Amino acid sequence: MSDIIIQVDNVHKSYLMGKEAVPALRGVSLDVLRGEMVCLMGPSGSGKTTLLNLLGGLDEPGRGHIIIDGQNIVALSEEKVAKLRLHRLGFIFQTFNLLSNFTAFENVEAPMVLSGSLKRKERKARVKTLLEQVGLVDRMDHYPSELSGGYCPRPG
Ligand SMILES: Nc1ncnc2c1ncn2[C@@H]1O[C@H](COP(=O)(O)OP(=O)(O)O)[C@@H](O)[C@H]1O
Ligand SMILES: [Mg+2]
């Protein structure tokens, strides 16, 4: 098992603004080791969000390789990337991206239902534990619109 969990190799990404290509990443390479905690810093507009979107398979680079746990996600089908994201990646977004018709409980539960790794009873208990850990258990039946802004992005 390789100690490199994320490998970014000479990644380029441009956005098309009309006919003009706006370069966001020009040849980014980095390795992240298993268990390592990494903080990506840079001024606004330097490409942090672009890189994170690529690492999560939410967008595709123009050039380069992104290897996550041994798989080049640039070459994977959308379905395979979605599976990898479900099982191997977690995101806390700048904007909340909660499902507005789901309660806090159901929002935390949704990825667990999809991954199918826990039985119903264990899953419900796990959701409750997670909500307890972030002080949201009293709000578990509330919808995102009924939660204060600060509650919404708490990680599960
Ligand atoms: N959807 C987009 N369309 C066009 N240009 C974009 C888009 N998203 C980002 N950019 C441009 O790409 C560059 C990097 O942006 P971004 O990755 O959002 O930087 P950061 O997260 O570090 O602030 C900036 O020049 C930005 O204007
Ligand atoms: Mg950003």
Q: What is the pTM of this model?
A: 0.83
Distance (Å) from CA 15 to ligand 2 centroid:
14
- For ligand 1, which residues put their CB under 6 angstroms from it? 15, 17, 22, 24, 42, 44-50
Tokens of 1: 């098992």
Tell me: the pLDDT tens digits for 62-110?
999 999 999 999 999 999 999 999 988 888 877 778 899 999 999 999 9
Query: Distance (Å, rounded) from C-alpha 93 to C-alpha 107?
Result: 14
Task: Tokens 């890189």: give the residue.
Answer: 51
Domain that holds residue 32: 4-88
Neighbouring residues of the ion ligand 2, judged by CB less than 5 Å: 48-49
Q: Which of 70, 47, 51 minimizes the C-alpha distance to 59?
A: 51
Q: In what order do the strands lie in the sheet with 63-68?
A: 20-33, 4-17, 63-68, 71-72
Query: Distance (Å, rounded) from C-alpha 65 to C-alpha 74?
Result: 6
CB within 8 A of 1, min separation 6: which ones?
34
76-83 contacts, C-beta under 8 A, 24 or more apart: 81/57, 82/57
Query: Distance (Å, rounded) from C-alpha 140 to C-alpha 107?
Result: 9
Of all protein residues, whose CA lies closest to atom 12 belonging to ligand 1? 24
Domain end residue (candidates: 88, 113, 141): 88
Residues 70 and 110 in one domain: no
Domain end residue (candidates: 38, 62, 88): 88
Q: Exposed e or buried b for every residue in 54-68, given b needs 16+ CB within 10 A?
A: bbbbeeebeebebbb
pLDDT at 156 over 60: no
Ligand nearest to C-alpha 94: 2
Tell me: the pLDDT tens digits for 95-148?
778 899 999 999 999 999 998 989 999 999 999 999 999 999 999 999 988 887
Number of independent structural domains in the chain: 2
Residues 80 and 146 in one domain: no
Looking from the CA of residue 49, the nearest atom of ligand 1 is 21
Ligand nearest to C-alpha 26: 1
Q: Which of 118, 149, 151 minimizes the C-alpha distance to 135?
A: 151
